[in-house]
Amino acid sequence: MLITFIRSIILYIIVLVVMRFMGKREIGQMQPFELAIAIMIADLASIPMTETGIPISRGIIPILGLLIIHLAISAINLKSIKAREIICGKPRILIYRGRIDEKALIKERFTINELEERLRDNDVFNIGDVEYAILETSGQVTVIKKPNKRTTTPEDFNINPDYEGIPYDLVVDGKVMYKNLKALGKNYQWLQKQVEKFNMKPEDALIVTIDGKGQFFCQGKEKSK
C-alpha cells in the first residue's frame, strides 16, 4: 500500500511537470495532437501507478518521450505554416456574410443544433445576428456579429477614455506582494499607510489591489471565532 502511495506521488509530480512544460492551454483550446498526447500521458501514468510489479521507469520514460515529441511538433508548428496546416488543420468559415455554409458544416460534421449551441456559448441567441462564424483549429467557434448587432464602444461616440492600466495585487491572504510593490516603485511603508486608511494592517488584509488610476480595493480577513 505504501509503495503504491509513493509511486502515485512520483508519477503525479512527473505528469504535472510534463503538462507544465506543454504550456498553459485549457483543454478546450488544445490542438488535436496536444489532446492526444495528454490522453496518452494519463494512460501511461495509470498503469505503473497501480501495478507495483511494473517498474516505475516504464511509465516515466514513455511520458518523457511524449514530452519530447510534443516539444518537437510545437517547434515545427512555429517554423512552418504548411506543417501547421497539416498537423493542426485550418480554420473553417461556417457562416459567411450571414449565410450558413452547408458544405462547410458537412465537411466538419457539424449539425445546425451544434452550431446554435456554439453560438449560444458566445452569447448569441439569434443566428440572424451573425455575420461570420469561424471554426478554429482548437474546436472553438469565433463569432463576429453584424455591425448593427454589435455592442457599442466609446469609440462609436468619439469618446476617448483615460488609460486605465492593469491592477496590481499588493496583498493576497495577508502576504505582501513585494514584487508588485517594486514594479510600482513603492515600499512596505507606503503600503502600510494606504492600508491603515481602511483601519487594518497589510497582514490583516484578505486582499489589497490598486488599479491604474490609483484606486484601492481592500478587504480584511474574517476574524476567527
Classify residue 158: in a domain, yes or no: no
Under the banding of pLDDT at 50, 70 and 90, the label for residue 199 is very high
How distant is the alpha carbon of residue 69 from its chain centre? 22
How distant is the alpha carbon of residue 131 from its chain centre? 27
Under the banding of pLDDT at 50, 70 and 90, the label for residue 106 is very high
CATH code of residue 126: 3.30.240.20
Do 107 and 177 sit in the same domain of this protein? Answer: no
Classify residue 155: in a domain, yes or no: no
Three-class SS string for 32-96?
A: HHHHHHHHHHHHHHHHHHHCCCCCCHHHHHHHHHHHHHHHHHHHHHHHCHHHHHHHHCCCEEEEE
Number of structural domains found in the chain: 3
Do 141 and 213 sit in the same domain of this protein? Answer: no
Do 76 and 102 sit in the same domain of this protein? Answer: no
Do 21 and 75 sit in the same domain of this protein? Answer: yes
Average pLDDT for 114-119: 93
Classify residue 156: in a domain, yes or no: no
98 close to 130: Cβ distance less than 8 angstroms: yes
Query: What pTM was estimated for this model as a whole?
Result: 0.65
Q: Domain span at residue 72?
A: 2-86
Q: What is the rounded distance in angstroms from the CA atom of residue 176 to the CA atom of residue 208?
A: 9
Classify residue 77: in a domain, yes or no: yes
Question: What tens digit of pLDDT does each residue of 76-100 get?
Answer: 888 888 888 888 788 999 999 999 9
Please say if the pLDDT value at position 201 is more than 80: yes
Under the banding of pLDDT at 50, 70 and 90, the label for residue 207 is very high
N residues, the chain: 225
